[in-house]
Each structure stands twice: as structure tokens, then as C-alpha cells.
Structure 1
Amino acid sequence: MKILVTGGLGFIGSHTVVELQNKGFEVVVIDNLSNADESVLNGIESITGKKPLFENIDLREKAAVQDFFKRHNDVSGVIHFAASKAVGESVENPLLYYENNLETLVYILQQLAEKIEASFIFSSSCTVYGQATAMPITENAPIQPAMSPYGNTKQIGEEIIKDAAKVSGIKSVLLRYFNPVGAHESAAIGELPIGVPQNLVPFITQTAAGLRKELSVFGSDYPTPDGTCIRDYIHVVDLAKAHVIALQRLLNNKNLEKVETFNLGTGTGSSVLEVINAFEKVSGKKLPYKIVDRREGDVIEAYADTKKANEVLGWKAQLSLENAIDSAWKWEKKIRAIEN
């Protein structure tokens, strides 16, 4: 079966392409390289022995999307990652996020709606919960007002998918994941942000590698045990495997509803300082950091109740925070040519 992975050269997308190819799927990747590099294709090939078909397309161009689906009318399923994803940037440039994250989704769904049946996996986020009132967060937690335009695009995106599914043959799984970290154990692919990293772990590894002077910890006065924000950090390989399982569920008609929702996380929350300590433990390096003011758009804490994914999908995170950070550091050292 041919599967389209949008944003397939990005962090989560590339790891998912690996898992799809390991399961025998034929994969075609769309990526506009706005936050990825074409060299990732070589990393995927080195792991799986096969280079996926790649098309450099900006999904904001409706005609290009229509042309792609005309040429690839045998696509059986879509895993949709392509989106801008930085909370802080979305606050500063909201219109970019609404254009990039919502228009592209609509254009793809319009093409899938023309098919008798289509399977669609949506890269959603725990940001849809806003600042949840209870921990851990279940799929039934109320959708709070979004804390950022990025979070709002995920909320609206989910609503668009549900409405589209009501009037078409589209079946979908919405995967609300928490904080993906780490890299493939081979160090052939990993997180490679263009410019200054917006996420904690790549900023940590770049700081340790000497690319950044020091890490900024945004706030130390939150109502948490050590005063810093708490997140659920999930290894990207565990996350990628969940996408393949969810896709197989739809392709095999195992879904119980037209649109199903699952949280993906470890079920354990870790503070920013705990992540720093974990890095120092696995790397043996002291990390320079400073406490700065809180960042707009950040929630206090968020970690998943994973019972539904564990029981219904039959998926469970296998790798630890230390596994993830160790793999991220090995990846950073490789791409910077740093000796152990």
C-alpha cells in the first residue's frame, strides 16, 4: 500500500517513514524543506535500505496538491505532519500558523473526500487541552481555550477533520502527543531544527555542543515541585510506531468510530530541571543555563493518561527519558563531528 507522509523529512515524520518502510509500506514523502533537509532521505535509506519517493511541494499551493493526487491516485492513507509547530513563534506570527496549518489540511482533505474511502492520521497535540485542570490528562478532558495560535490550529484542525468525516469516506485517527524527543538509535536521523531550536532537548544538546552560549529556563516560579514547567517527554521512535499502528487500525477497518482520538505519551511528567539533570547524567557534561522570565503560551504542566492508547491501540511507550536524551546527544555529536 502507498502511504503519503506530509512533512516526512521532519523530526517525527522521518522516524515514521522508517517505521512504515520497516513494515513494508510504500512511502511517498511531501516536504517543502522549510524546517528539514533533503539529506534526511539518505538517513532513512541507511536504516531501511530503501529511499522513499520524495516530492518538494508547498501544500499551501492548492493546484500542486490537486496535481499530486492526480498523479498518485493509488494513495491508500495519509499521515499528516506538515505544519509549523513552535508555540512562541505562533504567538509572534499567528497568521503564518493559520495559513500553514489550516489551509494545507483543508486542501488534502478535499482530495481525500473524493475517494470512496481514505485513511487519515492527524498529527495533533496535547496543546488542545490548554492548561488542563487535572493530571494526568485523559482524552475526555475538556478542550480549554488555546494558550497559543499553534494550539488553536490543532483544535480547529481536529474540528475540520470531524466535520469532513461526517460527509465523506474519510476515516481518521487524531493522535494528541505530548513532547517528542530523542533520535533513532542508529544516529542516522534525528531532530535537526533550522535556526535557533524552539524545543528544549535540541537546545540542550546544541548548548552542550557549543553552538549556544547557555540554555534559558523560562520561569522558576511555577506551582511545581522545582518551580519549572512539567511535560511528558516521549521518545520519537515510540511515537513513530504508534502512527503505524493507528494507520493499520484504519486500513484494517478496526476503528470503532469515523474519528478516533488517542493521547500518546509516557504517562510521566518531567520538569525542565529534571530534563537538564538527566542530560548531565547521561552525557557527563555540565550544562550552562540561566533562569529567565516565563514565556507567553506555556502551560504549567501536561502529562498523559495513556490507558486508552495502551488498551485500544495495543501501544505503550517502551523507551525512557534517559534513553531519549542519550540518543539525542549521540545524534548531536554525530552531526557536529564531536568526539566522545
Structure 2
Amino acid sequence: MPTVLITGGCGYIGSHTAIELMKVGKLDVISIDNHHNSSPEAIDRIEAIAGKRMKNYAIDACDRAAVQEVFEAHPDIVGVIHFAAYKAVGESVEKPLEYYHNNFESLVNMLAACEANGVENFIFSSSCTVYGDIDKLPVTEETPTTEAASPYGNTKLVGERIIQDFIKSTDKVKAIALRYFNPVGADESGLNGEDPINAPNNLVPFITRVASGLLPQLTVFGGDYPTRDGTCIRDYIHVTDISIAHINALDYLLDGKNSSNYERLNLGSGNGVSVLEAINAFEEVSGVKLNYVIGDRRPGDVTQIYSDSSLAKEKLGWVAGRGISEMMASAWKWQLNLNESRAAQEA
């Protein structure tokens, strides 16, 4: 059966994409994930929801020989969805060399393996960070990319250029870079969601951990931005919507609908939500009052950004279908289930 390889398949977006692919059932799913910031438990969660078990290779995508062995073991791979990357903005400022090594080396290895093994379709997990801190909103694909505000953002910007240059050099691979905005939420079952091994770097896991008593307090990074309430504005999008977009993009390439061998598309809801508005939405759906304080700005954060994703609708037939309340409700359901599961394990 034709197979799709997901790198970072046990991570947040990768595991949800695996679930949605298995629900469709047209492709087998395998993964490369060394659990640097993910849990092997994700494989069990995927199976519990989708009814199928994903084969994961716990190798480092920076190990070219190990990557090649995976491709040789699965000659039926027809596409790669590349999520595996370090992704924390703040940490990237503190550890730029780690980010440049991991994010570039893993990408180059995957592209080389695709070319060497005749895999023609490549989906790249990019980011709105490639646009930097801009004034003209909403962002379209024609918005100029600027100097990235963080090393993480730069790995996505340069990563796209690596893919673009590679595609020009070969007639064997087609690629789409999906520039998505801020994925949040969890599977509607409440059985899978964001569960980083390291300290969370995204807003919603902080919110749910503070709400459930696992963390004492939430710090909002900056309350003096030139926005309607002084906090950063982001385009939050449900992780399941993001996952479906990756599947649609792969189908788009498999069906030969692409207009060129390299395309880039924005994925967002088109609605800017401030940090305080996100907190308020969580409090409304959960009934829990959050303990939070306004702290200093965080290096690498842009003031506000949100998307025009009409091109994704035109090409992929994709729109973001779930709102901020659904995102927060699903994330809270996941956190409560996770807490219960962990408590049972410790009992």
C-alpha cells in the first residue's frame, strides 16, 4: 500500500496528522521521531483514536544513513511530510547553533533521501515567522519575507530557500511549504494533544497546566505592545484543521494539481486574537479563573500577525473550520484526560 512518511510523527502536529491520515485510510503511515520533545505514548494515543498502530523509527533525522535505511525498508513511500524541527522561539535565541544544526541537517537529509529513492512529493512544515514583524496585515503569500525575528524563524525562512533551490536542481521532487500560524487545541476525543517533554513554549499548554495546578502561574510576555489590549496578537488555528491542510496538500501533489514544482501557502483563520483574548476564551469554556501576570516582552516575538489564507482555499479546498472556543475546549479536555492518566500511572 502507498505510504506517507511523517517526520516528527509523535509530536504535536505530526501525531494529529497521522490520526487524520489513518482515518482517511488511503495511505499507510510511518514516522521518524527520536522523541527529543515528544513521548512514545503518542503512538498508543494514535492507535486508540484511529484504530491502527503507526510504525515509528526512533532515529535522529540528522543521521543520513539511518534515514536512508528507513527509505530502503519502505520502497512504497510516495510522500514525506516534514515536521521534525526544534520550534521554540525563545530557546532558539538562547541556543541558535542547536537550531541551525538540527533544522537544516534534518531537512537536507530528507530532501536527499527523497531524490535518491524516487519519492516525488514533499510537504514542508513552515511558519508565519518567515514574515517577521510587519505592519501591513493580513499577510498574503505575496507579503515580502523579512529578516526573521529569531533563529527559529530564520531556519524556516532559509529552509524554504533550501527547498526552492533544490527543486530547481531536480525534476524528481515537487514540494509545498505550508506557512501556518499558531496551532492550538487537541483531538476532539480529548485523547491526544500537545504534550511536550521539555517545558512548554506555547501559550495554550501553559494555560491548561496553570489551570490544572501543574504550574503556579502564567506569565504573559509583554503588556505594552501597540495592540488593542497591549498583548501580542496571533492567528490561532485548530491543530486538526492544520493536519487536514497537510493531507490536502499531499493529495494536491499526488493528483498532479500543482501549478509549479514549488509552491507556498498560508494556513490561518484570518482572525487576530490577542493573548488576553485567548485567556478569556479559555476561562469562559472551562469555568476556571487563570492565575497570570504581565511580564516583560520575550525576545523574538513579533507584535501581531494574522493571515489571508484564500489561496489555500482556492488550491487545496481548505478553510479553518474551528474557532477559538473550540480550540480552548479541546485543549482543556485533553489536559484533564492527561492529568487523569498520569495520576493513574502514579497510583
Deviation, 1:66, is 1.8
Q: What residue number does 1:34 align with?
A: 36
* Cα deviation, residue 115, structure 1: 4.1
Q: Which of residues 302, 306, 309 is equivalent to 1:306?
A: 309
SS of equivalent to 2:183? strand
Deviations 1:268-322 (A, max 9, x none): 0000000010011001111000011111100000100011111221100110111
Q: Which runs of 5+ in 1 are unaligned?
A: none
**Quick one: distance in 1 between partners of 2:297 and 2:221?**
5
- State how far apart, in whole Å, the 1-side matches of 2:92 and 2:338 are: 28
Alignment of 1:175 onto 2:178: yes
Q: How does 1:29-178 map to 2 (within 5 A)?
A: 29-116=31-118, 118-168=120-170, 169-178=172-181
The CA deviation at 1:48 is 1.2
In structure 2, which of residues 181, 184, 187 is the aligned counterpart of residue 184 of structure 1? 187
Residue 269 (1) aligns with residue 268 (2): no
1:67 and 1:79 map into 2 onto residues whose CA distance is 18
With normalisation by structure 1, the TM-score equals 0.98
CA distance in 2, matches of 1:66, 1:2: 15
Contact 2:104 2:155 in 1 (8 A): yes
Q: 1:333 aligns with which of 315, 331, 336?
A: 336
Do 1:117 and 1:171's aligned partners in 2 also have CA atoms closer than 8 Å?
Answer: no
CA positional deviation for 1:4: 0.1
Match of 1:228 in 2: 231
Tell me whether 1:7 sits opposite 2:17 in the alignment.
Answer: no
Q: Distance in 2 between matches of 1:325 and 1:26?
A: 31
Answer whether contact 2:220 2:294 (CA < 8 A) is retained.
yes
Secondary structure of the equivalent of 2:336? helix
The question of whether the paired residues in 2 share the 8 Å contact of 1:206 and 1:332 is answered with: yes
Secondary structure, counterpart of 1:121 in structure 2: strand
Q: 1:244 aligns to what?
A: 247
Amino acid at match of 1:110: A
Q: Which residue of 2 aligns with 1:22?
A: 23
AA aligned to 2:203 is: L
Q: Distance in 2 between matches of 1:194 and 1:244?
A: 26
User: Once superposed, what is the RMSD of the aligned Cα atoms?
Assistant: 1.2
Q: Deviations over 1:196-217 (max 9, x none)?
A: 2100000000000111111001
Tell me the secondary structure at the aligned position of residue 35 of structure 2: coil
Q: Offset of 1:12 from its aligned partner? A: 0.3
Q: Tell me how far apart the structure 2 counterparts of residues 257 and 115 of structure 1 sit (CA, whole Å).
A: 21
How many percent of aligned residue pairs carry the same amino acid?
Answer: 54
Distance 2:69 2:15 in 1: 23
Equivalent position of 1:282 in the other structure? 285
What's the offset of the Cα at 1:61?
Answer: 1.2
Q: Give secondary structure in 1 for the equivalent of 2:116.
A: coil
Equivalent position amino acid for 2:142 in 1: N
Give aligned pairs, total.
339
After superposing the two structures, state which structure 1 stretch, 116-125 or 99-108, moved more: 116-125
Looking at structure 1, the residues matched to 181 and 314 of structure 2 have their Cα atoms a distance apart, in angstroms, of: 18
1:317 alignment partner in structure 2:
320
8 Å Cα contact 1:113-1:164 kept in structure 2: no
* Structure 1 residue 193 corresponds to structure 2 residue 216: no
SS of match in other structure, 2:340: coil
